[in-house]
Amino acid sequence: MARLRQEEIRRLLGYLRKRPADPGLLAQIEDELRSDYADEFLREPELLVHFPVLTENLIVDGSQWQLRIIPHAHLRMVQHGVKLEVVSTLFQRFVEYCVASAEIITSGPYTIFGRPEPRSARLTLRVDVDFVTDESGAAHVVTVFIGRSGSNNAIEVEL
């Protein structure tokens, strides 16, 4: 169990207040977010319905890519203040780096480490490349998760 940091609570509530929601439900969520068990609450499926899938289309080096950011990753992005442009930029740099180093991107899981911008915090993108083809002109489809956000150095654990 662990409490969230104030800025994490503020970001999550700020996001949720912009969405149409029952005020009573919002108050319940706020209570949970401020509780000692907030980190566990963030993993519960019922919270994820408020964080829909985000889709981002990119063209990198002539190829189309479609990033699908699942609700869990969307929630983590809001919590840690990671913007969609940051995820998109890091993924674009990953593709450009692979092209420059003649590494072929194939279907399967990837873990991408990098700084989206100079001197910014390191971010770990974990992605599943679901579909890759250059034959039909269809987009390469990538499911995106967020690994380490760089905002948390704590590694103590109690199970």
Partner 1 sequence: MAANVLEVVESARHLTAAERREVLARLWPETSARNGHDVWVSVRFDGTTRVVAYAPGQEAHLESLRDLLQQGALARMEDESDGTYEIYGPDRTYYVTMTPAKEFAGLLSSWTPDQPPREVSIPDED
Summarize as ranges the residues that interact with partner 1 (CB under 8 A).
Answer: 1-2, 39-40, 43-45, 48, 68, 70-72, 76, 90, 93-94, 97-98, 103, 108-115, 117-118, 126, 128, 130, 143, 145-149, 152, 154-157, 159
In the complex, the smallest distance separating the C-beta of residue 23 from partner 1, rounded to whole angstroms, is 27
- Indicate the residue among 20 and 49 with the shorter CB distance to partner 1: 49
- Indicate the residue among 20 and 71 with the shorter CB distance to partner 1: 71
- Indicate the residue among 22 and 54 with the shorter CB distance to partner 1: 54
Q: Which residue has the tokens 């919002």?
A: 26
CB-based contacts of 120, cutoff 8 Å, min separation 6:
86
With beta carbons less than 8 A apart as the criterion, state whether 17 and 26 touch.
Answer: yes
